[in-house]
Homo-oligomer: A and B are copies of this chain.
Amino acid sequence: MINVEDVPGLKRDLQMVNMHMEHLCRSNNRYIQEMLNWVLRQRGKQIRPILTLLCARLKGRAADATEIAAVVELCHTASLIHDDVIDEADTRRGQLSVQKKFGKEMAIYAGDYIIFSAIQKNELRNRSRYGRVFGKLEAMFDGEINQFVYRYNTEITEEIYLENIRGKTSALFCIACEAGACAGKCDENEMLAVEQFAEKFGLMFQLRDDLLDFVSTEELSKKTIHNDFWCGYYTLPVIHAFSDADNGARLKEIAGNIKNGLQDEDTDKRITELIRGSNGFQYTLTEIDRYASEAKRSLAVFPGSAARKKLLNLVDSLQASAHGTV
């Protein structure tokens, strides 16, 4: 189609584009990285990066367009990954499509990750004052994907679970809070305090959410409840109950039955009883209280602040509403 050797420097530039793409597609999460490697293994014809590089040469002197060419190619790649989910396509660039190899759910995450990562790592980090803040989007995907990977796994530990929600939920609370603190001209030390606050706040918020999924009503929570367990997401009340010798074994049996499509009318009631019997709700409340205290303590560096008082109130009210349900 086009011989890259023909244009001085084009081959080297294309190699640079590929290096940038690899750099933009790096993750510490091994499931994400496995998908990214699969995607990068087959590069296709790379007609878009070639066009970018040629258009950067139209005025004679070649300008460095390798980074932006990589970003554009990754946007294209992400869009193909989602298209293949929608069209249920099995093959792409001469190999299995991401949705066929890793499943539709993972393919949705993979596409999202690439979009966020490409735009954020390249553009935001380099040029925007909020670049640092958005860096945490990676941790968000990390948590979401790990949560999905541990779906229906009754051996999930409390540690792994906390690590997952630290990503899935706390990361975005960190972004929200640090973005505000950044706008409000907090110094490095104060930013760290805000980050600490947001992390603990996120943990407390998620544990409360997990609790409400069992003990609230649809009307109150305005979303489908009793859903986590049925979808195979085992949250703290459940994980604590799993560790109970007697109740835990019976709860794991129910989990297995649900996974295999066996269930009866009373299942929801029995799940709640088994968790209650092993103190799963009470244990979760204790953890909520602990993270609430830690969150509040982090804000000590803003002694006279009226906004701090409101943040403390917010923590208190979430904490109280959790206690009100059990």
Q: Which residues of A contact B (CB under 8 A)?
A: 1-2, 6-7, 44, 47-65, 68-69, 71-73, 75-76, 78-79, 82-83, 85-87, 89-94, 105, 108-109, 111-112, 115-116, 119-120, 123-124, 127-128, 130, 137, 140, 144, 148, 172-173, 175-186, 190, 194, 198, 201, 205, 218, 222-224, 227, 231, 299, 302, 304-308, 310-311, 313-314, 317-318, 321
Contact = CB atoms under 8 A, between A and B. Distances in A.
B72 A179 contact: yes
Given A51-B176, A57-B306, A58-B194, 12 more contacts: A1-B317, A1-B321, A7-B306, A52-B183, A59-B184, A59-B302, A65-B179, A68-B179, A79-B172, A85-B108, A91-B218, A119-B124
A55 B91 contact: no
27 contacts: A2-B317, A48-B176, A53-B180, A55-B177, A55-B180, A55-B186, A55-B311, A58-B184, A58-B186, A58-B190, A59-B184, A59-B186, A59-B305, A60-B305, A62-B184, A63-B183, A63-B185, A65-B179, A65-B183, A73-B176, A75-B175, A79-B112, A86-B109, A91-B223, A111-B112, A119-B120, A123-B128
Contacts of A178: 55
Nearest to A228: B87
A48 B224 contact: no
B318 A181 contact: no
A302 B58 contact: yes
Contact of A56 (B47, B48, B93, B180): B180
A94 B222 contact: yes
